[in-house]
Amino acid sequence: MSYVPIDLDNAIRKECKRRRYSDKTADTYLFCIHGFLKHSRRTLDKISKKDVREYLEHLSEKGLSGNSMNTYHMAIRFLFEEVLNKRIWIDIHYSKVPQRIQKFLTKEEVRKLIANIGNWKHKLMVELMYSSGLRVSEMINLKVKDLVLDKGYGFVRNGKGGKDRLIVLAKIAIEKIRNLIGIESLGTEDYLFKTNRNKKYNQRTLQLIIKKAAKAACLDFKQIHQHTLRHSFATHLIENNYSVSDVQAMLGHKSPETSMIYVHSSGKMINVKSPLDG
């Protein structure tokens, strides 16, 4: 039995929070849902599967990519099934998004990038992102209590998809982290990295730090972003003969297929000998 919430936005955000979806996901869903409702011009209790199909066809005609179409589809299904408790099934298949080999840095390029960061705390943040395969959002949300420094590992809490995962800590970073905790007198509940105003860093700041360092290092800074460090971490693990399942665990991927792209990125396949040469 379906029902219509009085405050739709609040109902969607509450359900997203209950499922441990990120605020970004909730914002995306709300954007897609509002676009759908505006187009349909119907009240929630009058909307049907036909309205959904017509809207998705409208988006397809506008030339949206398969990835964007899937996002709209998921958002509308979330509205119907999770918020309105109304079952809906729309069997529409979208073209797959072409999978491209991810941009990554060589080990020497990573060294150059890090060497061109003057602020010691910013440098440690970038070192930690690369050495542990962290997303920017995961890095800025690290707390002192999430790290087990004497054993060389830590935890990402409530990462992408609301999942926790284990992360490795580079030996070279552990002593620097200890120094940071001591210098800033951080407690276990404190964020590991805080600004001069005693606030948590924001993602935009990290993006600018990486761009500035890449430009100073004479790297292709237009192609380098915060996720490039994560791609580089995964690619270098493959180059160091770690398995796809190891990479999958370190990055927190749902399936090994997602991690397989780093096998292609690493150049491992180039080292495979053609049977014709045998």
Q: The CATH number of the domain where 163 resides is what? A: 1.10.443.10
pLDDT higher than threshold 70 for residue 273: no
Does residue 250 fall inside a structural domain? yes
- Structural domain harbouring 157: 107-268
pLDDT digits (tens, 9 = 90+) for 136-150: 888 899 999 999 999
Active site residues: 135, 160, 227, 230, 253, 262
Torsion of CA 52, 58, 63, 64, to 10 degrees: -30
Q: How many residues does the chain have?
A: 278
pLDDT higher than threshold 90 for residue 64: no
For the record, the structure tokens of 231 come out as 């791609």
Higher-scoring residue by pLDDT: 68, 147:
147
Question: Residue 216 — pLDDT band, cuts 50, 70, 90?
Answer: very high
If asked whether residues 117 and 236 sit together in one domain, one would say: yes
CB 2 within 8 A of CB 85: yes
Does residue 261 fall inside a structural domain? yes
Tell whether pTM > 0.95. no
If asked whether residues 25 and 78 sit together in one domain, one would say: yes
If asked whether residues 156 and 72 sit together in one domain, one would say: no
For the record, the structure tokens of 275 come out as 């049977």
Higher-scoring residue by pLDDT: 21, 176:
176
If asked whether residues 114 and 69 sit together in one domain, one would say: no
What's residue 235's pLDDT? 82
Torsion of CA 175, 181, 182, 188, to 10 degrees: -130
The CATH number of residue 73's host domain is: 1.10.150.130
Q: What percent of the chain has pLDDT over 70?
A: 80
pLDDT higher than threshold 50 for residue 272: no
Does residue 38 fall inside a structural domain? yes
Q: Is 166 helix (H, G, I), strand (E, B) or coil?
A: strand
If asked whether residues 149 and 78 sit together in one domain, one would say: no
Does residue 275 fall inside a structural domain? no
Domain count, the chain: 2
